Each structure stands twice: as structure tokens, then as C-alpha cells.
Amino acid sequence: MIKRLAGLFAMVIFALQAAGCGESPLQITPYDPQLSTALAAYTQTAKYVNSATFTLTPRFSPTSSRTMTRTARPTKTTSPTLTLSPTPSLTDTPVPAVKLNVMIATCDTGMDIFHKLGEVTNAYVMVQNVGNVDATAVQTTLSASDEQKPHPNKSYLVQNLPAGEEIPLKLTVDTKEGTATSITVEVTSAEEVSARAERASCSSRIAQEDIINQLGKLFVVRKIAKP
């Protein structure tokens, strides 16, 4: 069988070469069944060879696919700072008013022969208007626990005592000789404002000149002295 196929292939090759040299090609007719079968087998074989597809698979991939995962850094979160808004302070508007203050700086006892009196008690006081309105008709009166006859100098009237000003005074009352004496000084004004001061004992017969001098000139209105 193999020899027969080889002879048929040789005839086909000879026919093709004759056609290339200008000779008449070999006519294959359907009356030659062996040649037709051989030619058909050759044609199928050639078709199979020509239509073969070769796929080359590279041993290594030319490119490597890498998947990069980005790790996010932790974000530093700053805690919010609490800001305290300042609380508005309420400022009281001072109400216009008179405010009196009285102090007994010192006191002593003596004799008053000019008014035909025996023992008397003297009080050196300071009267102040510490309010924000002028005080009018400011009356300062001295009284004693053993008071005898009314003394002409037991009280003093200031017609106007401006706000922030003061006046030093000397007041005298008639008292009983040889009796312990306590005194009271009271201040009033036309604005119905009052103040009061007391001293338990005034037994000293010697005037404290240093304290009296600190009061300054008596019966003179002046600005309140700073301490």
C-alpha cells in the first residue's frame, strides 16, 4: 500500500513540474479512482498542515502583576479645647443716697467755770458723709449717762456736708462729779439719715493732745482724709 501511495505522489509531483515548465498539466479525471483518492488525501493533509496554529507559551510571564496595599497612617485627632466664655458680671448702679458716719476719737473730763458749771465731759468726734449725695442740716448731738444741765456746746449743726467730705467737732455735756460716765454721739440729717457712736468711759482728766491734733482744725469741712 505504501509503495502504491508513493507512486501516486511521484506522479502528482511530476505533473506539477510539467505545468511549471510549460507542458500540459496532468489531467486527473474521475475515471482514475486511485489517483483521485490519493490526491484528496494529499489535499486534506496539506490543508491540515497549512491551517495549523502554533501558540508559544512563555516560560516566564514578562510582567509580574503586583497589588500594592496602602496602609493608612493613623490620623492624630486633637481633642477639642473647651473655651469658656466669660460670664458678664452685673454691675450695680449706685443709688444716689446720703450715708453718714461718726467716730469718737477721744474724750475727757474737766471743769467749765465760764458757764458756771462744775464737771463737764468733752468728746472729740469726726462726722463724715460717705454717700454720693450732699447731706443737709446735719445735726450732731452729744449725751451722757449722768448728764446734768444742758450745755450750749452739746450739739452742732452743719447746714451742708457734701458727699465725700468730713468735719471734726468738739462737743461738751454737763456731767455729775465723781460718777462714771458713758457717752453717746448721734448724727441726723434732713434726708432722715442717722449714725451713732458710743464710748463706755471718759474718766480721764488729761486731754490726749496727740489724738486731738490728728483731727486737724475743728469745725472746718474738708475732704475725707485718706488713711
Tens digit of pLDDT for each residue in 94-107?
788 999 999 999 99
Cβ(169)–Cβ(124) below 8 Å: yes
Model confidence at 92, pLDDT cuts 50, 70, 90, reads low
For residue 80, pLDDT beyond 50: yes
* Strand spans (E) along 30-154: 100-111, 119-129, 135-144
CATH architecture of 100-223: Sandwich (2.60)
200 φ/ψ angles, rounded to the nearest 5 degrees: -75, -35
Query: Higher confidence at residue 135 or residue 17?
Result: 135
Per-residue pLDDT at 78: 60
Query: Higher confidence at residue 139 or residue 69?
Result: 139
Cβ(152)–Cβ(120) below 8 Å: no
Q: Please return the burial class of 141, using the count of CB atoms within 10 Å of its CB with bins 0-12, 13-18 and 19+.
A: middle
Read off the pLDDT of residues 166-210 as tens digits, 9 standing for 90 and up: 999 999 999 998 888 999 999 999 999 999 999 999 988 999 999
Per-residue pLDDT at 211: 95
List residues bridging with 197 in a β-sheet.
185
Q: Please return the burial class of 186, using the count of CB atoms within 10 Å of its CB with bins 0-12, 13-18 and 19+.
A: middle
For residue 73, pLDDT beyond 50: yes
Q: Give the pTM.
A: 0.59
For residue 33, pLDDT beyond 70: no
Query: Beta 183-188 vs 194-199: how paired, if at all?
Result: antiparallel
Q: Which amino acid is at 168?
A: P
Residues 6+ apart with CB under 8 A from 22: none
The three cell numbers of residue 92 are 450695680
Residue pointed to by grid coordinates 462729779: 177
How far is the C-alpha of 227 from the C-alpha of 225, rounded, in Å? Answer: 6
Model confidence at 116, pLDDT cuts 50, 70, 90, reads confident
Span(s) in the chain for CATH 2.60.40.10: 100-223
